[in-house]
Structure 1
Amino acid sequence: MSHNAKIRSAVERVSDVFRRKPGAAMSTKRASGRIEQGLVCHARQDNYTATMDMPEPVGGEGSAPPPGFHIRVGLVGCIAIGVKLTAVREGLDIGIVEVDVEMDFDDGALLGVGDNSAAPLETRVTIAIESTAPWEEVTAMVERALKCDPYFLALRDAQSVKTNLVPSRG
C-alpha cells in the first residue's frame, strides 16, 4: 500500500468515526514542564519530552532550543502535514510540501522594555508545493487545509486563554 493510500484510508476511518460519534472528536491535550535551576525547562506530553533553554545573552546557557523554536517548527509541521493530509483526502496529486515561517519581534518587549507587545509583530507563512494539478485547485485545497489547521488558527485568531496560579508541590 502506498503512503498516500495508507494516509487516505486512516483519515477516512477516523473521519467516519467522528461523523458517527461527534463526541469522539473532542479532546484535551496537556503538556507540563519544570525549571529547577537556571532557565532550562524540561517539558513533556504523553510519552514525548522536550528540553528548552534561553541563549546566554538573556541568562540561559544555550544548551537547548528556546521555546519559540518549538512554536515555529510546530507551526511548520502542522501546516505541512495539514496540507498533505487535505490533498491526500481530496485525491489531489501533490508531491513535496515546504513551509517557511518567519516571525518579527521586539525582543525588548520580552524583558518589559518599551511599549510594544512581546507577541509577534508579524508572522509570514510561505508554502511551496510540487504538483501537477491545476494551480487553482492547489490554492483552493491549501485554503481548506488552513481552515482546519489548529495551530495556524491559534496563531491567527483570538481565543480564550485562562491562567491559574497555584503553589508548587515541590
Structure 2
Amino acid sequence: MTYLQTPPVTETARDRVIREAQSAVVERIRADPAKARSTLRTTGHVGEGLACEVVQGPFSATLDLGKGMGGDAAGPSPGFFARAAIAGCVGIAVKMLAAREGVRFNCVDIAVETDFDDAALFGIGGGNAAPVRTRVSIDIDTDAQGDIVESIVDRALAMDPWFLALGNAQDVSATVSVAR
C-alpha cells in the first residue's frame, strides 16, 4: 500500500452524497437486518463460438477468448471481469468507507495480479486450474495519516465481498440440465 501526500482537502459535495447515502443504508439495515440478505441472478449464453453474452438486470457484457484459444476476441475474457470485479469492489469499498467516515481520499488506485497454471486449464499435469496466487495493491492519494488510512483499508477489506471471495472458502454448487 502506498500513500501519496497532498495538501489537506475538505470533504467534497460528492463525498457528502456518498456518506449520506451509505449512512441511510446502514440505518435501514440496522432497523431490519433481514433486509440485508439478497440473491442476485446473472445469466450467460454461449451460442456459436465461445462468446458469452451475460445479463444481470439492465446490464449486459460480452465475454470471449482470444483467437489463439479459438474465440473471436469479441470481448474481454472471463478472467478480466473477475479481476475487474475485485479491483472495482476493493476500490469502491475503500473509497465509500473513507467517505462515510469523513476522511478524504482523493483517489484510490488498485492493481490486481493473478498467477495461473495454464496447463491445468487443459487437464495437463497435476496442477489446479484455480489461480495460484493473487496480489492486490492499493494506492491512495490522501492527506490523512497512515494509521487512519491503514485502519480504513483493513476494515474495508474485511467487509468486501469479492476480496473475501478470493481467500475464503464458500459453498459453490452447479446443476446441469440437458435439452434435446
**TM class, shorter-length:** over 0.9
Deviation per residue, 1:60-99 (Å, 9 max, x gap) = 1122111001111111000000000110111122211000
| Partners of 2:60 and 2:74 in 1: CA distance | 15
Q: Which has the higher contact order (CA 8 A, sep 6+)?
A: 2
Asked if 1:166 is matched to 2:159, the reply is no
**Gapped runs of 5+ residues in structure 2?**
1-11
Q: Distance in 1 between matches of 2:13 and 2:109?
A: 21
Q: Which residue of 1 aligns with 2:79?
A: 68
For 1:39, the equivalent position in structure 2 comes to 50
Indicate which of 57, 64, 67 corresponds to 1:53.
64
Secondary structure of 1:42's aligned partner: strand
Question: How many residues were matched structurally?
Answer: 169
1:147 aligns with 2:155: no
SS at 1:108 equivalent: helix
RMSD: 1.2
Displacement of 1:142 in angstroms is 0.1
Q: Matches of 1:7 and 1:83 in 2, distance apart? A: 12
1:112 match: 123
Give the deviation of 1:114 after TM superposition. 1.4
Out of 82, 90, 94, the residue aligned to residue 83 of structure 1 is 94
Q: TM-score, normalised by structure 2?
A: 0.91
Matched letter for residue 41 of structure 1: C
Supply the distance in 2 between the matched residues of 1:14 and 1:143 (Cα, whole angstroms): 21
Which SS does the other structure have where 2:123 is aligned?
Answer: coil
SS of aligned partner of 2:144: coil
**Structure-1 residue corresponding to 2:145:** 134
3-state SS of 1:133 partner? coil
Q: Match of 1:162, as an amino acid? A: S
| Structure 2 CA distance for aligned equivalents of residues 33 and 41 of structure 1 | 6
Structure 1 gap segments, 5+ residues each: none
Look up the match of 2:5: none
Which residue of 2 is the match for residue 6 of structure 1? 17
Identity of aligned residues (%): 40
Kindly state the Cα deviation for residue 167 of structure 1 after the two structures are TM-superposed.
2.1
Equivalent residue, structure 2, for 1:96: 107
The equivalent residue for 2:32 is 21
The one-letter amino acid paired with 1:123 is T
**Counterpart residue identity of residue 85, structure 2:** G
| Distance apart, 1:110 and its partner CA | 1.0
Moved over 6 A (4+): none
